[in-house]
Amino acid sequence: MALTSAMAVRRGALAGVAQTAEAAELSRSRVVEHYQTLATGLEQATQQTDQQAAEWTAYYKVLADGARGIVPSGLPGRPSIQTRGITPVPLSRYIGEWSYPKLNPLYSGPEPQFVELVVREDNRRATGTLTVRFKVPPDSRLDPGLHGDFTGTFENVRNQVFILQTNDGGKGKIELISGPAFNLLEVNLTIEPRPGKVQQANFLLVKK
């Protein structure tokens, strides 16, 4: 009887130990799972932090390049190559849309009344259009209008010279000179002599 009792007690003790071990293993599994979740979250957070750091680095590089006149490639409507070193000043001093100012205009030769200039660049190649209307006396036989297209290659010089072709068959040159301020551009025109047509003009434009 005593033996039976002792065996029962032992079985009870063993069962208790087994239950305790099972509970401990369950707790350990939960702790391990919890730390695995934490580790996964930490790894993801680290990856996100690294990605954000890389993005910020790229962002500040774009800002720094822009200050030096470098335009990133592959952006819609932008040049296809980096523009640093093409010209002695940033290409932004030449490309874009320009107009004749109404206040404090500067010119030499016939006085412009209206000027619209558009300059584009792609892989160092310049293309553009020029429209000018000059002020002429009422009795003058001089044609006040001039419209033409030009093309050429940007060079590492301050004065960029391109071939100009007018819509009425005239030929000449247009010279773009970066002005004293970032938003000013001097234009010098030389067109082959033709009766009733402007042959030379010079004026200062402002960027739109």
Average pLDDT over residues 58-81: 48
Give the pLDDT score at 95: 97
Q: How confident is the model at residue 86 (pLDDT cuts 50, 70, 90)?
A: confident
Rounded to 10 degrees, the C-alpha dihedral 89/114/191/163 comes to: 40
What is the average pLDDT value for the chain, to the nearest integer? 80
Domain membership of residue 36 as a residue range: 1-67
Question: Domain check: are 63 and 95 in the same one?
Answer: no
Question: Domain check: are 201 and 142 in the same one?
Answer: yes
Find all residues with CB under 8 Å of 80, minimum gap 6, and list them: 73, 74, 122, 123
Residue 189 pLDDT exceeds 80: yes
Q: In this structure, is residue 84 part of a structural domain?
A: no
Question: Domain check: are 138 and 173 in the same one?
Answer: yes
Give the pLDDT score at 186: 98
Of the residues 67, 83, 108, the one at which a domain ends: 67
Residue 99 pLDDT exceeds 80: yes
Question: Domain check: are 116 and 201 in the same one?
Answer: yes
Question: Domain check: are 31 and 109 in the same one?
Answer: no
Question: Domain check: are 103 and 176 in the same one?
Answer: yes
What CATH number corresponds to the domain at position 154?
2.40.128.120
Find all residues with CB under 8 Å of 172, minimum gap 6, and list them: 148, 164, 166, 189, 190, 191, 192
Residue 3 pLDDT exceeds 60: no
Q: In this structure, is residue 76 part of a structural domain?
A: no
> Any idea which residue has 């004293």 for tokens?
180
Residue 10 pLDDT exceeds 60: no
Question: Domain check: are 100 and 192 in the same one?
Answer: yes
Count of domains in the chain?
A: 2
Other C-beta atoms closer than 10 Å to the C-beta of 182 total 12
Taking the model in full, what pTM does it have?
0.61
Average pLDDT over residues 121-130: 96
Average pLDDT over residues 63-73: 49
Cα(166)–Cα(148) distance, integer angstroms: 4
Residue 17 pLDDT exceeds 80: no
Cα(50)–Cα(58) distance, integer angstroms: 12
